[in-house]
Amino acid sequence: MLPIERIRLFLFDMDGTLYLGERLYSFTKELLATIRAQGKTYMFMTNNSSKSVDGYIEKLARLGIAAEEGDFITSAQATADYLLRHHPREHFYVLGTRSLLTQFAEAGLDVTDVADDRITGIVAGYDTELTYRKLDDVSRMLSTKDLLYIATHPDTVCPTEYGFVPDCGAVCEMLYQATGKRPLVIGKPEPLMPQLAMQRVGVSPDETVVVGDRIYTDIECGLRADAHTILVFSGETTHADYEAAARKPETTMEDAGELLAMLKQLS
């Protein structure tokens, strides 16, 4: 059972947890306001590395939620943090959007989107500006050199209003077919995003809960970070998926409205 009185940091997945597409769930505004009113912190956690945080701030504003940059933890931020910490002197080719390249440069990484002989690492993100030229460049570099190779997140598809489009994981799989190389992956289900969030806020895993609608990404990353976990059935995961899953969350809820009810009982 979730020790709700101990939780100080709430890490929310967004789509399927707080809203579905363009529809905000009825409890979301009050849930976020209640967490703040109780002196606790929430952050939005996303694997998507194609847009900067600004894109999400606009989306949430459209849905009626005021958010600022510090409220987000993204796979791009976690990747920049990881690279600065472990590989600060590498010269990276970024297989990603202009927005991702700018974010990495602003974080202090040495990055380019032009293939040259000085490149010592490749970072792949969700590249909605992908061209065959880039695939050719990356295939050549991966085939001819032993480079550091990182991907911001493993998702193979990204949902759209009509279905799905290929995401970072699918492009990396295509490159694997060509080069035999697979990247080290940073986003969910790896624990780096929750770990970075906990460090920013200054709380322990036992004071943190990850709330999400996907068992194999949201919940798995919470489990790997040793945080508390809540699976909500308001998004992708069905009860049958939950029953079949090998690794299960600490708590399940029909939706995060049940979390709001728990918090209200505290005050």
Site string for Mg ion, 223-242 (x = CB under 5 A): ------------x-------
Instruction: Identify the bridge partners of residue 91 per DSSP, sorted by sequence position.
Output: 110
Out of 90, 137, 213, 220, the only residue in the binding site for Mg ion (CB under 5 A) is: 213
- Closer Cβ to Mg ion, 154 or 235, answer by number: 235
Which helix (H) or strand (E) element contains residue 199?
helix 192-201
**Shortest Å distance, C-beta 46 to Mg ion:** 9
- Closer Cβ to Mg ion, 14 or 111, answer by number: 14
Give the SS3 label for residue 209: strand
Q: Does 15 bind Mg ion (CB under 5 A)?
A: yes
- Closer Cβ to Mg ion, 109 or 259, answer by number: 259
Residue type for position 227: A
Residue pointed to by tokens 């990484």: 109
Q: Does 13 bind Mg ion (CB under 5 A)?
A: yes
Considering only the stretches 37-45, 76-84, 106-114, 209-217, report the one whose residues sit in contact with Mg ion under the rule CB under 5 A: 209-217
**Shortest Å distance, C-beta 248 to Mg ion:** 17
Considering only the stretches 19-27, 184-192, 210-218, 245-253, report the one whose residues sit in contact with Mg ion under the rule CB under 5 A: 210-218
Between strands 148-151 and 121-124, the pairing is parallel
What's CA 258's distance to the chain center, in Å?
23
Tokens of 207: 């004071």
Considering only the stretches 15-23, 24-32, 80-88, 245-253, report the one whose residues sit in contact with Mg ion under the rule CB under 5 A: 15-23
Site string for Mg ion, 166-205 (x = CB under 5 A): ----------------------------------------
Residues 6+ apart with CB under 8 A from 41: 8, 9, 10, 35, 201, 203
Out of 8, 16, 127, 153, the only residue in the binding site for Mg ion (CB under 5 A) is: 16
Residue type for position 10: F
Per-position b or e across 193-232, b if 16+ CB within 10 A of its CB: bbbbbbeebebebebbbbbbbbbbbbbbbbbbbebbbbbb
Q: Which residue has its beta carbon closest to Mg ion? A: 16
C-alpha atoms less than 13 angstroms from C-alpha of 4 in its C-beta half-sphere: 15
Q: Does 110 bind Mg ion (CB under 5 A)?
A: no
Write phi, then psi, for 125 (nearest 5 degrees): -125, -170
Tokens of 105: 């440069």
- Residues in the site for Mg ion, rule: CB under 5 A? 13, 15-16, 213, 235
